[in-house]
Structure 1
Amino acid sequence: MLESLFGVPFDGLLLILVSTVGVFATVITYTRIAGLRSFSKMSSFDFVMTVAVGSLVATVAVSRSSLLEGMTALAALYLLQVAIALLRRFSPFKQAVDNKPLLLMADGTMLRDNMRRSRVTEDDVKSKLRSANVRNLDSVRAVVLETTGDISVLHGPGELDLSLFEDVRDARRIGGGGA
């Protein structure tokens, strides 16, 4: 009866159910082992990892792939994530995997060339400025597009510690450092 209703034999539906539960439990387990980075704001590598895990889960759930094959593929992906997280500690590798943060605003002036390069609009920046309780553009010291896609706003009186900007593209433009 189920086969005529769903077009799939009962044992096929049962296999999909068991595979889905198994691969879901595997994702939870591997994510716990790999750490919280799996749920953090995503860099481009983290996004690729998330898409790959989702694709594997879907494939195992509805294909003839065995649960063990899916678990093995997921283990390989999570091991790759851990390995890349460790390798990111080395500058050349980090530069190859991650985008560098980009300065979008310096000393109250929007850097439209950088905004264009990163496809961030003036309205996007203004929205973040409002969220950061900026009342006057002149009080904005720096706005940075982070590697995760977040926008950081630094404003208010006092000197900026320029070491905070060592990895930020165009940081030389802070403090009247030129265009």
Structure 2
Amino acid sequence: MWHSLGITPVEALWVVLGAVGIYAAFYLMVRAFGLRALATWSTLDKAVVIALGSLLGRVVLGYTTTLAAGVVGLATLFAMLRLERWVREKDSGFLSSNPILLMAGSEVLQDGLKKARVLEDELYFKLRAAGVRNLNEVAVAILETTGDITVLRRGQRIDPLLLRRVPNRHLIPADLMLPGQ
């Protein structure tokens, strides 16, 4: 019966182990290289992602390149995504990242840039993309857990709830925050 599906139970197990292994390796490398590795991509970055996809496919499927093996590999990767989400919901801190404060008011925080592995020029690019013409227009700039940079401009005061998981939020000038919360 298994041969008619194009995969044996042992081959299916190897596909599952390959998918779990490559998922874990990918996760650890993203953590090691930082969230910016998944943010805005250049043309070269996109080419590398295509090559990584090909590599990932070969590792997961190995020599068992059948439809059944592909379905087993795909199901395993989706199960790993579900498991990761479940672990993050438990808020263990192991899989979760915190946002990183890059600017507090008009001050660029060099420690935040270093921790986030963001170049000052990349920050300035994001500020320009947000329509900022002067650093005094900035309330905060934050590297989000997705790898994107969010720029909040001065104007209305910021609700502290929006900065709940942002370390060093005490560096943000008090006049930019809603009082008493």
TM-score (norm 1): 0.61
Greater shift, 68-77 or 95-104, is seen at 68-77
Shift of 1:57: 2.4
**Counterpart contact for 2:60–2:73, Cα < 8 Å:** no
Give the distance between the partners of 1:64 and 1:138, measured in 2 at CA: 58
Give the distance between the partners of 2:82 and 2:71, measured in 1 at CA: 16
Letter in 2 for 1:65: T
Could you tell me which of 90, 95, 98 is aligned with 1:97? 95
Identity of aligned residues (%): 31
Q: Which residue of 2 aligns with 1:75?
A: 75
Give the distance between the partners of 1:130 and 1:52, measured in 2 at CA: 31
Structural mapping, 1:26-65, within 5 Å: 54-59=54-59, 64-65=63-64
- Tell me how many residue pairs correspond in the alignment: 130
Q: Which residue of 1 aligns with 2:114?
A: 116
**Counterpart contact for 2:87–2:95, Cα < 8 Å:** no
Shift of 1:58: 2.9
Letter in 1 for 2:77: L
Residues 145 and 60 of structure 1: CA distance in aligned 2, closer, same or farther (over 3 Å): closer
Give the distance between the partners of 2:53 and 2:77, measured in 1 at CA: 8
Structure 1 residue 86 and structure 2 residue 86: aligned?
yes
Larger relative contact order, structure 1 or 2 (CA cutoff 8 Å, min sep 6): 2
Q: Which residue of 1 aligns with 2:148?
A: 150
**Structure 1 unaligned runs (5+)?**
1-42
Residues 77 and 130 of structure 1: CA distance in aligned 2, closer, same or farther (over 3 Å): same
Give the distance between the partners of 2:146 and 2:64, measured in 1 at CA: 34
Residues 58 and 138 of structure 1: CA distance in aligned 2, closer, same or farther (over 3 Å): same
Residues 102 and 111 of structure 1: CA distance in aligned 2, closer, same or farther (over 3 Å): same
Residues 60 and 170 of structure 1: CA distance in aligned 2, closer, same or farther (over 3 Å): closer
TM-score (norm 2): 0.61
1:59-114 Cα distance to aligned partner (Å, 9 max, x none): 577x531522342232122112112223322221xx21132110000011000111
Residues 69 and 124 of structure 1: CA distance in aligned 2, closer, same or farther (over 3 Å): same
Residues 70 and 147 of structure 1: CA distance in aligned 2, closer, same or farther (over 3 Å): same
> CA RMSD of the aligned region, Å?
3.0
What secondary structure does 2:118 align onto? coil
1:1-58 Cα distance to aligned partner (Å, 9 max, x none): xxxxxxxxxxxxxxxxxxxxxxxxxxxxxxxxxxxxxxxxxx859x7xx998754523
Give the distance between the partners of 2:56 and 2:133, measured in 1 at CA: 47
Shift of 1:174: 1.2
